[in-house]
Structure formats: structure tokens, C-alpha cells
Amino acid sequence: MKKLGFIVSSLMLVAILSAVAQISVSTLFATNGITYSNLALQAESLEKENIILRQHVYMTASLTNIASVAATLGYVEPKKTAQLSIVHTVPQVAYKQ
């Protein structure tokens, strides 16, 4: 009779422990799902912000925008361009014939 009581109490203990383990795992997966959805929303938001920032960079880095900003700052195109010409001369070397 004592063996039967021990077996029954052991089975109940195992059942309770497995129920607690199942609840713990379910809670863990549930919170991971919420965390995953929050991260997915944040990633989508960052992708949209990245697109907006790229457009801003393209607009501000365009040559027409740079030219207009330079004009407002007082820079003007030179009327005459200067060139520096470097003539490369080969030094005279004595060759043995």
C-alpha cells in the first residue's frame, strides 16, 4: 500500500512539475512573440526613416543644390580659368654606342 501511495504522489508531482514547465515555456514564447512584433515594427519604422534620409542626402548632395547654396554664400564662377601647364622634358642621358 505504501508503494502505491508513493507511486501516486510521484505521478502527481511529475504532473504538477510538467504543468509548471509547460506554463513557463508558453509564457516565454508569448513574450518572445510580443518582443518580435515590437522589433518588426521598429525595423519597419527605421527602414522608412532610412528612405527619407537617403532622399534628403541625394537632394542636398546634388550639384544644382550645391551651386545654389554656393551662390547664396557669395561664391561666383570665375570669369577666366587659369591653367597650369607642366612640360615634362626628358633629361639628356649619355648612351654608350
Domain ranges in the chain?
2-72
The residue among 79 and 11 whose pLDDT is bigger is 11
Cα within 13 Å of Cα(56), Cβ side = 6
Residue owning grid cell 504538477: 16
- pLDDT tens for 12-46 read 988 999 998 888 888 877 777 788 888 999 999 99
- Measured distance CA(56)–CA(65) in Å, rounded: 11
* pTM metric for this prediction: 0.47
Is-contact 44 50, C-beta < 8 A? no
Is-contact 37 43, C-beta < 8 A? no
